[in-house]
Amino acid sequence: MKAILNTVSRPILFAALGGLVALGGAQSLGWTGKTVIIEENNQRTAQVNWTSNRPMPAAPTDFVAAAERTVEAVVHVKTTAERVQNFYNPFNDLFFGRPSTPQKFEVEGSGSGVILTEDGYIVTNNHVIKDAKKIIVTTSNNDEYEARLIGTDPTTDIALLKIEGSALTKVFVANSDEVRLGQWVLAVGNPFNLTSTVTAGIISAKGRDINIIDEQSAIESFLQTDAAVNPGNSGGALVNTAGELVGINTAISSRSGTFEGYSFAVPANLMMKVVNDLKEYGRVQRAFIGINYNEVTATLSEELNLKLNKGVYVANVIAGGSADDAGIEKGDVIFNVNGKAITTGADLTEVLGQHRPGEKLTVLVNRSGKNQTFEVVLKNKLGTTEMLSKDEELLRSFGAEVEDLSRADKSRLGLRYGIRVSKILGGRFENAGISENFIIVKLNNVYVENVESFERLARQFNPGDGVLIQGFEPNGKANYYAFEW
């Protein structure tokens, strides 16, 4: 600085001082300046080069390409369902004692869907096509197809359709685990039957559990966005600015029934796992870790003297379950699974929902202040690592294997109907006292001709229904068993 002061005039000195004052103000705003001496024609001058230590604003985002690409892959889903309603007729009731007659009528609904493959596999929401007896899909170029239902998963509100098309415009699927808060997204669908509608917003939260899916073992770990979504958007696409699918629009937070600020989408990774299961097995292969848990809060952490204030607290370990086999104990706090941070129960259920029975997960827990790692092999809800078909799960849910009676067996036992309990696996049959080789003749007073008819009758049960099984013990004694489904 001495050289500068000795060689520059006083006005330059004031300019330099002014620069120093400006520098102090600029530094407080995130800018830094470096003074350099420029010497030209035997004259020296001071120059400040400014640089910023803050991130520069992102370039303006162009949604055009993403919107045009996605619109062609989003379809309009129209459904026809049958409803039954009892219409009360007081005249018949009072004068003739006749009960009201059930009346059948058709109800039409609509939603959206996303083309996943060029040959016509389409994903939508389960609630869009629930109870539909006819499903019509209309593409962006107004081609119409009647869709076939491949399968549904009420626990994630996902359904898979198939149309007989070719060279269809499909969407490209992104890794939804890489979605970041504040990221721009587009919602594409058919709100209020306004086809091919595009709205924009940002990802405002991840891993949202809003208790909207009324199913046992429901998985809710939604992406939350402020892109406008309304009735008819259900089943439509949530895409990033590259036009890649990051989620399936499913629900809105609203008191009026229309958009009021937030909407929710099933993450693409979870959706794809469900879709692949439905295509390959006809049902979703759910994997369970075998614990009961509570989300860690500041209050719980203080009460139990935990060393973490977020994660999943293991409140109970199911005997013989995956966690039990791996060595996880009651009181452990799970904070990471397969490299993904676990801060809430929704985080854990989302990770589990992306895996099948038999797959191995690396689980990190904090136990009394020390971190430990466990390798957990996931199991299905029957406690095995097998993949189950719909029928296998149904039969095994009774806790038994059954087989048809041969013609010779029927002749020897003097029976026209019946199936044999070939193996007891535990569960309902064991709890009810049914033994191996018991012959089932009736299920809820309906004759059971073979295993297929038994499965057909069993599919009609709902939680809480009474089950009555009638037949013969191995010694020939008639007997019956009753339990709740």
User: Which one of 110, 112, 127, 332 is the catalytic residue?
Assistant: 127
pLDDT class for 22, splitting at 50, 70, 90?
A: very low
For residue 196 the two structure tokens come to: 């091919």
Q: Return d(Cα 388, Cα 90) in angstroms, integer.
A: 51
Q: Which of 110, 112, 204, 234 is catalytic?
A: 234
CA angle 60, 62, 68 (to 5 degrees): 175
Closest CA to 283 of 418, 116, 396: 396
Q: Are 156 and 124 in contact (CB under 8 A)?
A: no
**Lookup: tokens for 125:** 């929401």
What distance in Å separates the CA atoms of residue 144 and residue 411, rounded to the nearest whole number?
A: 55
Angle among Cα 224, 238, 55 to the nearest 5 degrees reads: 70
Give CA–CA dist 448/441, Å, rounded. Answer: 5
- The reply to whether 58-281 and 291-377 are identical in fold is no
pLDDT for the residue 292: 95
Report the alpha-carbon distance of residue 127 to residue 111 in Å, rounded: 9
Backbone φ, ψ for residue 75 (5° rounding): -115, 160
Three-state SS for 202-253 is: EEEEEEECCCCCCCCCCCCCEEEECCCCCCCCCCCEEECCCCEEEEEEEEEE
Task: Kindly report, residue by residue over 343-372, the tens digit of the pLDDT.
Answer: 999 999 999 999 999 999 999 999 999 999
Is 355 assigned a catalytic role?
no
Q: List, in sequence order, every beta strand (DSSP E) within 157-196.
A: 158-162, 172-173, 184-189
Residues 121-149: tens digit of each pLDDT: 999 999 999 989 999 999 999 999 999 99
Q: What is the pLDDT of residues 164-199, one digit of tens each?
A: 999 999 999 999 999 999 999 999 999 999 999 999
Average pLDDT score over residue span 371-398: 81
Regarding the domain with residue range 390-484, which homologous superfamily does it belong to in the CATH classification? PDZ domain (2.30.42.10)
pTM: 0.73
**What is the average pLDDT across 72-98?**
73
Q: Which of 110, 112, 153, 157 is catalytic?
A: 157
Q: Is 344 helix (H, G, I), strand (E, B) or coil?
A: coil
Residue of 30, 73, 362, 107 whose CA lies nearest to 237: 73
CA distance 469 to 467: 7
Cβ count near 5 (within 10 Å): 11
CA dihedral sign of residues 134, 140, 142, 144: negative
CB 237 within 8 A of CB 188: yes
The DSSP bridge partners found for residue 184 are 202
Domain-by-domain residue ranges, the chain? Answer: 2-52, 58-281, 291-377, 390-484
Report how far residue 252's alpha carbon sits from residue 268's, in angstroms, rounded to the nearest whole number. Answer: 18
Radius of gyration of the chain (CA): 32
CA 4 to chain centre: 68
The mean-pLDDT minimum among 52-56, 112-116, 438-442 falls in: 52-56
Predicted local confidence at residue 44, as pLDDT: 55
Residue 140, judged by CB atoms within 10 A of its CB (0-12, 13-18, 19+), counts as middle
The CATH number of the domain covering residues in 58-281: 2.40.10.120
Right CATH number for 291-377 from 2.30.42.10, 3.40.50.880, 3.40.50.920, 2.60.40.790?
2.30.42.10
* Residue 166 annotated in active site: no
DSSP single-letter state for residue 130: T
Nearest-angstrom CA–CA distance, 108 and 445: 36
Cα–Cα dist 66/332, whole Å: 45
Residue 152 parent element (H or E): strand 148-153
Structure tokens given for 247? 């989620």
